[in-house]
């Protein structure tokens, strides 16, 4: 299938010689050829480029993520960061002071099902990723809506030089934060706008491989606002 200089590639398909692979985790070598391991897009430029459409999030120190508290231990929380690796948030880091399990109960501060915005401090695949919330703008998320997309589609939601994200914010008036692990925090003064943002993000995820998408999504948002009577 061709999409104006782009072609969908299926798992097991051989890629052309000299292909540029942005993430080698999603290809493998067979019989001297580079083969796609996941569905992706082959950008047929002077030098072909393979971009995977299905990925997993692998944490890196410095990443800002949105995590979901999955369990509460004695001295820490375990946090789902939309990755095969479960992260750890220590009580002392969250509270900003020494923690005494005989006096404090962690469920008073974060419970299973709560979301946190956090930074990955360390990760080496031998131990769980370690999180911190000891920076401005990080901590428990107490309002708004959390959306989830394929990590591979994060760049498309942001757009080139932030164009798609800027458009979403302008057309909806919402505060939108896109985390690298495929979770998005949406906070709107008009709560009726939140499902419209969710629908727009879903459209971006499903049509990430198409061209002219920013204007298509802009039109879709305005149609939804008109139909639903949202200003």
pLDDT at 137 over 70: yes
* pLDDT (average), residues 46-67: 90
Q: Span 145-228: which CATH code? A: 3.30.1370.10
pLDDT recorded at residue 4: 61
Most confident stretch, 25-29, 37-41, 135-139: 135-139
How many CB atoms neighbour CB 205 within 10 A?
Answer: 19
The DSSP annotation for 29-53 comes to: EETTEEEESS-EEEE-SSS-EEEES
pLDDT recorded at residue 1: 46
CA distances from 184 to 50, 85, 149 (A): 25, 19, 8
Q: Span 6-52: which CATH code? A: 2.40.50.100
Sequence spans of domains, the chain: 6-52, 64-140, 145-228
177: which strand partners?
185
* Dihedral of alpha carbons 59, 116, 177, 197, sign: positive
State both tokens at 33: 């050829």
Lowest mean pLDDT among 2-11, 63-72, 115-124: 2-11
pLDDT in tens, 60-106: 999 999 999 999 999 999 999 999 999 999 999 999 998 888 888 89
User: Which has the higher per-residue pLDDT, 51 or 76?
Assistant: 76
pLDDT at 2 over 70: no
Beta strands in 182-221 (DSSP E): 183-187
CA distances from 228 to 111, 146, 193, 199, 224 (A): 35, 21, 10, 13, 6
pLDDT in tens, 164-209: 999 999 999 999 999 999 999 999 999 999 999 999 999 999 998 7
pLDDT in tens, 141-150: 999 999 999 9
pLDDT recorded at residue 100: 85
pLDDT recorded at residue 3: 54
Q: Which superfamily is assigned to 64-140 in CATH?
A: Nucleic acid-binding proteins (2.40.50.140)
CA distance 193 to 4: 33
User: Which has the higher per-residue pLDDT, 43 or 82?
Assistant: 82
Give percent above pLDDT 70 in the chain. Answer: 98
* pLDDT (average), residues 109-120: 97
Could you give phi then psi for residue 165, rounded to 5 degrees?
-65, -40
* Structure-token match 């009580």, residue found: 91
Would you say the CATH fold of 64-140 matches that of 6-52? yes
The 3-state DSSP class for residue 56 equals: coil
Q: Which of 212, 183, 208, 213 is nearest to 198 (CA)?
A: 183
* Alpha-carbon torsion, ordered 64, 190, 69, 128, to 10 deg: -10
pTM of the full predicted structure?
A: 0.83
């Amino acid at each position: 299938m061709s999409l104006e200089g782009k072609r969908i590639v299926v798992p097991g398909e051989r890629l052309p010689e000299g292909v540029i692979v942005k993430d080698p985790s999603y290809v493998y070598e067979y019989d001297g050829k580079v083969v796609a391991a996941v569905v992706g897009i082959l950008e047929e430029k002077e030098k072909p480029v393979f971009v995977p459409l299905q990925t997993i999030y692998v944490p890196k120190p410095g990443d800002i993520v949105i995590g979901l508290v999955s369990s509460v231990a004695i001295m820490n929380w375990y946090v789902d960061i939309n990755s095969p690796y479960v992260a750890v948030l220590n009580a002392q880091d969250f509270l900003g002071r020494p923690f005494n399990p005989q006096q404090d109960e962690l469920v008073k501060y974060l419970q299973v099902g709560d979301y946190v915005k956090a930074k990955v401090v360390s990760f080496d695949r031998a131990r769980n990723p370690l999180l911190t919330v000891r920076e401005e703008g990080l901590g428990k998320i107490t309002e708004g809506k959390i959306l989830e997309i394929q990590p591979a589609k994060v760049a498309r939601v942001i757009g080139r030089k932030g164009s798609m994200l800027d458009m979403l914010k302008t057309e909806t008036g919402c505060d939108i934060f896109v985390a690298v692990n495929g979770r998005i925090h949406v906070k709107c003064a008009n709560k009726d706008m939140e499902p419209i943002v969710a629908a727009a993000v879903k459209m971006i995820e499903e049509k990430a491989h198409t061209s002219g998408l920013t204007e298509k999504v802009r039109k879709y948002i305005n149609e939804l606002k008109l139909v639903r009577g949202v200003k």
